[in-house]
Structure 1
Amino acid sequence: MKKQNKNTTSASFRQLLPYVKSHGFALALSIILAAVSVILQLYVPILFGDAIDQTIAAHRVDFVQMWRYLRLILLVAAASALCTWLMNLLNNRMTYHIVQDIRSRAIRHIQKLPLSYLDKHSSGDIVSRIITDTDVLSDGLLLGFTQLFSGIMTILVTLIFMFSKNFWISLMVIVLTPLSFLVARFISSRSYRLFQKQSEVRGRQTALIDEMMGGQTVVKAFGYEQRASARFAEINEELMKYSQRATFYSSLTNPCTRFVNSIIYACVALVGVLLIPLGSLTVGGLSVLLAYANQYMKPFNDISSVVTELQNALACASRVFALMQEPEEKPDDSQQLGHVRGQVCIRDVSFCYDRSHPLIEQFALQTKPGMRIAIVGPTGCGKTTLINLLMRFYDVDSGTISIDGTPITSVSRHSLRSSFGMVLQETWLKSDTVRENIRFGRPDATDQEVIQAAKSAHCWDFIRRLPKGLDTVLREDSVSQGQKQLLCIARVMLCLPPMLILDEATSSIDTRTEILVQQAFDTLMEGRTSFVVAHRLSTVRNASLILVMRDGKIIEQGTHQELLAAGGFYSELYNSQFQPS
């Protein structure tokens, strides 16, 4: 476990390094400012020691020299404070730019991930990685830049000044120093695993909150509140357990190293007191060495705290980088799909989400341009999966799908998907104006075109009644589910794509509006190849071809009248919907 933690930490650090290197100039300037600030700070004890040595004996104090040293101390302290302020300003700017780069790349990477990854991971956990984990990384980096550089510089410069005062005391301090390192390492090696578990549990907690908040209506309708609270309490208890343990171990670092440092400080004082009578050290010199011993030990306390925070930061960074290392969608060809007529050929296609559970096997279909293909069948038969394959949300395991004779794997995904207009049963609108939601696929569309599309989708009436019309910013409860679906239909009406996919596109609309929208769809589908997934068979009577699917296979196909006359599975489905109970 220790080796694994060490490898994970090293890997996270190596992945973080390029982001830090991209701000190399700022990093170098920060180190220089840290060095100057530390040198000026450590020069102050020498000036104090020299001022103390001006007290030669009773009634023999050189006040002129003493005041000169005091003025110089004020000047040096002010210069050191200015360097520290500039360093902190630079470190803040550098840290937040690094985290901004990581978040931006993470978001860009998510856009390139296959849909299979997003289907298998909760959105709450992904959000937690990008928001919470990068926040923790930001805090760790800021503390590292601010205290780590200054601490290391303080240790190095202090040693130089100490050796200039007394060799043997300085050597003793160096010999005793590893005690602090051993204590800090012993504790940090145990805290990393706990911080990593804390980060994982926090992601699960965020996922649960996202899940429960997104489905509050269902939660309340089924009386799930107490069970949801119990699940949250269980995860919250687990998070508290790991957080307490991680905090306990990390909080041991500072007092333990302080105890070791106090022993070293006492040794310096004891040896110094013994050397003064021998004439090899003055009182002022001892005061300087004691000040330096304190200055020398302080960074070890700070660095031990920094190491603890960095352990936490790198544990969180490992989750973010793990997301960013997920393999992207297979690169597609840059070839563009030209003028689309809409001839779709599906030949011997097989596909499954899980190798142990075959879904679509040896699927074949040939369509002519302008055909309206309806896909019906029981839940889980593969209707939506077929749509996912057409859009290349998933790639087929075997077989080919081609459009106008061109295999879809040989053209860019963007080119393929822009050839389809898609309206799903699940609606999605972004938090923006009505106008921007409708012209989501055509950002250059004019207001007149947007209004015409809204009228075609029969949603212009309710848009006009909104507080600001097209400029109304949509929120979660701004419009009803049916109105959301109408806006999604208007989005497709605006694009006028050469092919259409309608997956229960009118499921949330009232019957009267559905008839009007269906008429609009009939006009839109005229001359366009269309795939219509439907559970209500009344909506597919006018289809050119009806595919009846079961267990991933086409078991019947034909027109509505032909399938009814055949008296097969379709006839059973149709009659079950329209027979009086």
Structure 2
Amino acid sequence: MSPRHLPKERVKVDNLWPTLRRMWHYLGTRKWTLIVVLILVITSSALSLIGPYLLGTMIDDFLDVTTKRSFIYSLSLLASVYLISIVTGYVQQFLMITLSQETVFEMRRELFTHLHTLPLKYFDEHQDGDIMSRLTNDIENVSQTLNTAVIQVFSSVLTLAGTLIVMITLSLPLTFVTLFIIPVLYFGMKWLTKRTRVYFKQQAKDLGDLFGFIEESISGLAVIKILSQEAAFQKQFIEKNEQLRESGYKAQVYSGFIPKFMNMLNNMSFAILTFVGALLAITQAVSVGMIVTFTQYARQFTRPLSDLANQFNGLLSAVAGAERVFEILDEQPDYTHAHNESFDTVKGDVSFQHVSFKYHNEWILKDVSLHAKPGETIALVGPTGAGKTTILNLLMRFYLPDQGDILLDGQNILTLSEDQLRRPLAFVLQDPYLFEASIKDNLLFGKPEATEAEWLEAAKLANADSFIRHLPNGYDTLLREDGKGISQGERQLLSIARAILRDPAVLILDEATSSIDTVTEVKIQQALARLMAGRTSIVIAHRLNTIESADCIYVLNNGEVIEFGRHHDLLKRQGFYYQLYRHGFNDA
């Protein structure tokens, strides 16, 4: 029904300032730490302005024999200034690292939490590896920038403003010489960052695509080998890897120009400044100590410019990652905050009333109506693509119908909270998912508050207790990812035990006995019979023995219910169901 990978639009790169404002919002929640950091930055910047002045004064005092006795005092004062500056620098860096890690922790927590609220449609349209890249690589880019960028931006701006004021005070002609760097810097940086931003964004996108392809390749490795498609997948990997190499190369090349460009401007500015200062010193317009002081300030003036340029370069990488994170956070969740106060004990009455659903402008279900009374079993049959699994996805509110209503005990499921809707329901799927945890923990996913007696009884009712006790560590046996290490049938028995422990009002069986050997199928059928007793059951199956005893069978084709009734009544009509029966349900 839903393609796993769909083409994505090219990501926009023109939302720099909105993204920065959102990043600042996370930092703003810890304003007192920021205030302390800002005070330390101001102190450190002020000390950096005092240092060159003391150095020039000390040189003039040393050259003037009448004030030579103050040299030791000036030297001690200069050393104290630099020592205090170092201490404040360490403290502010420590506080900023703490702040950045807390901020990134909150962003990652919010992103992970929000992912679990998104509709399945979002995951159908995005590769798993791309989503993982946003959770890890993109947020890590934000973390690395926040560790240093905020302090450096504050410090650079303060130092730049303070240095400019001092330089104007010392010598207006030399200040004009120093400022010639500004227009050259502006136009050069504008040209570079315009390209850098695009390539950093493309690099993040290409990295996500590569992660997604790798994840898909590893998950489907067995199929790749069976179909002898190793060479084809290696070729695709090389192509995607080449795309990442190219975008990463361009991003790093253009960003690498920035420090080189700044160094060139610094050296040019220093050379011109030294030449003009020497001319002024010859005419005795300024002292030697003042020239030394001014060159130090000139260096100090260009250094924050260089730092800001480099920070902006790193900031672009962080913004590229943050934009991708915020794209997910801006996705609308699949539920409302509705809570139906009148909805209490669930009896299990399920009704679809003229439900239609389209996916990417294609109608998957058309005017479907069906009804399962409490305790009844209804079966959904039909060829592949008829819409059977879509009906279950709509019932679980993984997707929302475009037309019609879905009722649970007479209440529209859109008026129920997630917990009210899904707690009374349990799934037993053809390929059950088990987590990388112990068998006991996997059972408890169905009901975390269950007692030991309850989960043991559930395992026994599901015919799973005997094989579990033969495992090396019994119920404490650790399963690998997705239950690897035990057979398909054993995984199915654990899934049934988990459903029994949940004690649902409505049971959903989706091909629950498909691809199982005969002996295991007998155990599963016995377990399912115990599970289905007294419960509303909705069954999708291709095997006759799982549906012939259903209270009502709904026959679907091309998204429409074309027949419904009991097994023998449908056979008598000799319609579509009769044709399925004659050709065998496994071929449907």
Which residue does 2:462 correspond to in 1?
A: 457
Question: Post-superposition shift, 1:207?
Answer: 0.6
Give the Cα separation in 2 of the matches to 1:386 and 1:195: 42
Change in CA separation of 1:404 and 1:170 when aligned onto 2, cut-off 3 Å: same
Structure 2 SS opposite 1:482 = helix
Aligned partners of 2:41 and 2:92 also within 8 Å: yes
Q: 1:51 to 1:193 in 2, by over 3 A?
A: same
Q: Secondary structure at the match of 2:507?
A: strand
| Cα separation, 1, equivalents of 2:67 and 2:230 | 80
Query: Which blocks of at least 5 consecutive residues in structure 1 are unaligned?
Result: none
Per-residue CA deviation, residues 255-297 of structure 1 (Å, 9 max, x unaligned), is 1122122222122212211222333321111111111111211
Percent identical: 35
Asked if 1:326 corresponds to 2:331, the answer is: yes
| Structure 2 equivalent of residue 301 of structure 1 | 306
Structure 1 contact 184–257 (Cα < 8 Å) conserved: no
Cα distance in 1, alignment partners of residues 519 and 436 from structure 2: 28
The partner residue of 2:536 within 514, 529, 554 is 529
Q: 1:252 to 1:5 in 2, by over 3 A?
A: farther
- Tell me the equivalent position of 2:4: none
Match status 1:572 vs 2:579: yes
Matches within 5 A, 1:106-505: 106-335=111-340, 337-355=343-361, 357-476=362-481, 477-505=484-512
RMSD value, Cα:
2.2
What is aligned with 2:527? Answer: 520
How far off is 1:441 after superposition? 2.7
Counterpart code for 1:339: T
**Contact persistence 2:471–2:477 (CA under 8 A):** yes
Once residues 467 and 532 of structure 2 are traced to their aligned partners in structure 1, the CA distance between those partners, rounded to angstroms, is: 25
Contact 1:30 1:87 in 2 (8 A): yes
- Corresponding residue SS for 1:445: coil
Residue 114 of structure 1 aligns to which amino acid in structure 2? P
Amino acid at match of 2:307: D
In the TM superposition, 1:550-569 aligns within 5 A as 550-569=557-576
Contact 2:507–2:532 (CA under 8 A) maintained in structure 1: yes
Q: Is the 8 A contact 2:489 2:520 kept in 1?
A: no
Q: Which position in structure 2 is the counterpart of 1:46?
A: 53
Q: Distance in 2 between matches of 1:176 and 1:350?
A: 66
Gaps of 5+ in 2: 1-10
Letter in 2 for 1:525: M
2:20 aligns to what?
13
Q: Could you report, residue by residue, the CA deviation over 1:27-75 in whole angstroms, capped at 9, with x for unpaired residues?
A: 2222221221222233222222222223336xx5866422222222222
State the shift of 1:330 in Å: 4.7
Contact preservation (8 Å) 1:485, 1:508 = no
Of 13, 16, 25, which residue of structure 1 is paired with 2:32? 25
Matched residue SS, 1:352 = strand
CA distance in 2, matches of 1:419, 1:155: 64
- Distance (whole Å) between structure 2 residues aligned to residue 6 and residue 367 of structure 1: 51
Is the 8 Å Cα contact of residues 351 and 361 (structure 1) preserved in structure 2?
A: yes
CA contact (8 A) 1:458 1:513 kept: no
- Does structure 2 retain, via aligned residues, the 8 Å contact 1:183–1:257? no
Distance 2:565 2:134 in 1: 50
1:549 is the counterpart of 2:556: yes
Change beyond 3 A, Cα 1:529–1:6: closer
Judge conservation of contact 2:174–2:276 (CA < 8 Å) in 1: yes
Q: Equivalent residue of 1:268, what SS?
A: helix
Residue identity in the other structure for 1:515? V
The alpha-carbon distance between structure 1 residues 569 and 290, as it changes in their structure 2 partners (threshold 3 A), is same
Select between 48-57 and 265-274 the one with higher mean Cα deviation. Answer: 48-57
Change (3 A) 1:506 1:233: same
Give the whole-Å Cα distance in 2 for the aligned partners of 1:5 and 1:84: 37
For the Cα contact (< 8 Å) 2:196–2:254, is it kept in 1? yes
Which position in structure 1 is the counterpart of 2:80? 75
Of the three residues 91, 94, 99, the one matched with 2:104 is 99
- CA gap 1:11/1:373 in 2 versus in 1, 3 angstroms: same
State how far apart, in whole Å, the 2-side matches of 1:269 and 1:414 are: 74
Cα distance, 1:5–1:141 mapped onto 2, change above 3 Å? farther
2:344 and 2:376 mapped to 1: Cα distance?
Answer: 19
Whether contact under 8 Å (2:96, 2:148) holds in the other structure is no
Q: Greater CA deviation, 106-115 or 472-481?
A: 472-481
Give 1:142 shift: 2.4
The aligned length equals 574
TM-score where L is the length of structure 2: 0.92
In structure 2, distance between residues paired with 1:486 and 1:69:
83
Q: Show CA shifts across 1:280-329 (max 9, x none).
A: 32111111111111121112122111111111211221111111111222
Change (3 A) 1:578 1:167: closer
Aligned-pair CA distance for 1:170: 2.4
Deviations 1:317-355 (A, max 9, x none): 111111111122251521053222222222222222132
TM-score in terms of structure 1 length? 0.93
Q: Quickly say closer, same or farther: Cα 1:329–1:6, change in 2 above 3 A.
A: closer
Secondary structure, aligned partner of 1:328: coil
Could you tell me which residue of structure 1 aligns to residue 6 of structure 2?
A: none
C-alpha separation between the residues in 2 aligned to 1:332 and 1:382? 29
C-alpha contact 1:485 1:509 (8 A) present in aligned 2? no
CA–CA separation in structure 1 for the residues paired with 2:193 and 2:585: 70
3-state SS, counterpart of residue 316 of structure 1: helix
Deviation of 1:508 (Å):
4.5
**Cα separation, 2, equivalents of 1:153 and 1:490:** 65
Deviation at 1:578, TM superposition (A): 8.8
1:6 deviates by: 7.1
SS in 1 for 2:374: coil
CA positional deviation for 1:156: 2.1
C-alpha contact 2:97 2:148 (8 A) present in aligned 1: no
Q: Bigger CA drift: 363-372 or 220-229? A: 363-372
Give the 3-state SS of the residue equivalent to 2:116 in structure 1: helix
SS in structure 2 of the partner of residue 501 of structure 1: strand
| Whole-angstrom CA distance in 1 between matches of 2:240 and 2:511 | 37
